[in-house]
Structure 1
Amino acid sequence: MNKVEKKRIKEQETIEKMIHIYCIKNHHTKELCSECKELVNYAKARSQRCPFMAEKTFCAHCKVHCYRPEMREKIRQVMRFSGPRMIIYAPKTALWHMLCTIKERILK
């Protein structure tokens, strides 16, 4: 597995964790509800087809936004809610995300 594929998998795992936190806390389920499963599948499909994976860190830093407007709004809600909670529920992932974001800002 090459570096870009590892990065893609890590990004997909991160967004899935964020959606999972959001769903459990807002939809009061133990497993993902159908709406959140759809969002996970959509996000993974977008990530899988991303031609900029080698250059970008996260979708928020991308020049091209490939999410449909309604899905983009859903993912924004998830990130606003889950982002601050990641440090509690997935501290390693949160730290990795913060370091990548800082690195992105420094290099640009």
Structure 2
Amino acid sequence: MQVEWKRSEERKTVREIVKIYCRGHHHVRESGHELCPDCEAIAAYADIRIAKCPRMAAKTFCSVCPIHCYAKPQRELILAIMRYSGPRMLLHHPIMAIRHILIQWRTRHGLRKREK
């Protein structure tokens, strides 16, 4: 996988996760904007962190990365967003969700092999 393609896909996925959260919590549909200002800020922050990720070629997910790029408040917020949006991704973006599940499964399966 090319690093820039991976980076681009991660950006798209995070943005969609934030959109689902925002629609569910902040009723942005009525305002005509894609995201409320708070969710736009966390999406922009995540985008910057993804753009600067030094381990993009090697890592699978931020949650299993040894380097924590997010500051603690943003990390806690993005975890809450992912907890809410993760299960809903299957309904809103099934292909993205299935790809994410497969990557996670391969990562865990690979880790188990190394432990033996």
TM-score under structure 1 length normalisation: 0.96
Aligned to 2:65: 62
1:66, distance to aligned residue in structure 2 (A): 1.1
Matched position secondary structure for 1:7: helix
| Larger Rg, first or second structure (1 or 2) | 2
Query: Could you say what the CA RMSD is over the residues aligned between the two structures, in angstroms?
Result: 0.9
TM-score under structure 2 length normalisation: 0.90
Structure 1 residue runs of 4+, over 2 Å off? Answer: none
d(CA) in 2 for partners of 1:76 and 1:27?
17
Gaps of 5+ in 1: none
User: What are the Cα deviations for residues 45-100 of structure 1, in whole angstroms up to 9, with x where unaligned?
Assistant: 00000010011011111001110110001101100000000000000000000000
State how many pairs are aligned. 107
Gaps of 5+ in 2: 112-116
Q: Counterpart amino acid of 1:3?
A: Q
- Identity within the alignment, %: 42
The 5-angstrom pairing of residues 1-108 of structure 1 reads: 3-30=2-29, 31-108=34-111
